[in-house]
Amino acid sequence: MTTAITPLLGAVRRDLLIAVRRKSEVLTALFFFVIVVSLFPLGIGPEPLLLKKIAPGILWVAALLATLLGLPRLFAGDHADGTLEQMALSPSSLSLLVAGKIFAHWLLCGLPLVVLAPILGLQFDLDADALSLLVVTLLLGTPVLSLVGAIGAALTLGVRGGGVLLALLILPLYIPVLIFGAGAVEAQISGLAAEGHLSLLAALLALAAFFAPWATTAALRIALE
């Protein structure tokens, strides 16, 4: 078991070390998230009821777009310098290496959004229960964004204008995550049960965790041929 997980942990460690050397790429997505979320209260004005109503959708859309910003770089650097070919030829499972890179992407682009979201949610007059549920939905939903996004990043690898094509491919697939994530918080604010939305988010996470690394690996092998 330890031998099987070692390549995954190695891929995570490598991508995190690379990100430390390229802090600007990571910080760009975080600043984008903060700025987009903060502009709405400034533009709409101090209307607590309206702000509370639109908060879940705004926070989730901003998180979705911020995650999307980091996807084009997920495999591009390794493809450009030949590392991806070496990974494909190594005795380690390519699926495990890909899973490690996806997990590293979530640590860099998803987890910081989960941490920042409740702080930014205070601008929308969300109470403690709504903020707590927001964190839970993001913890379940942002990994799905990284997993599904990795498939799109692999399919558009090396394609001219790949960033635009990636967005066109992935954004429709993000819609269920957006609906259930924002819907859970909206239900909590309205005094309704949010367990159904959370269960669906958890089911999406389980499906994505099972199929996405395999589908991404298959797409990468096609791109390398």
Banded model confidence at residue 161, pLDDT cuts 50, 70, 90: low
- pLDDT of 60 over the 90 cut: yes
- Reference 103, options 216, 223, 225, 222; nearest CA is 216
Amino acid at 126: L
* Side-chain-side CA neighbours of residue 218 (13 Å): 6
The answer to whether 208 touches 147, Cβ cutoff 8 Å, is yes
Q: Where do we find the tokens 């070919």?
A: 85
Q: What is the pLDDT of residue 224?
A: 79
Say what the pTM is.
0.90
The answer to whether 180 touches 200, Cβ cutoff 8 Å, is yes
- pLDDT of 113 over the 80 cut: yes
Q: What is the pLDDT of residue 89?
A: 80
Banded model confidence at residue 4, pLDDT cuts 50, 70, 90: low
Residues 142-152 have pLDDT tens digits of 999 999 999 99
Structure tokens at 4: 């099987």
Mean pLDDT of the chain: 87
Where do the domains of the chain lie? 2-224
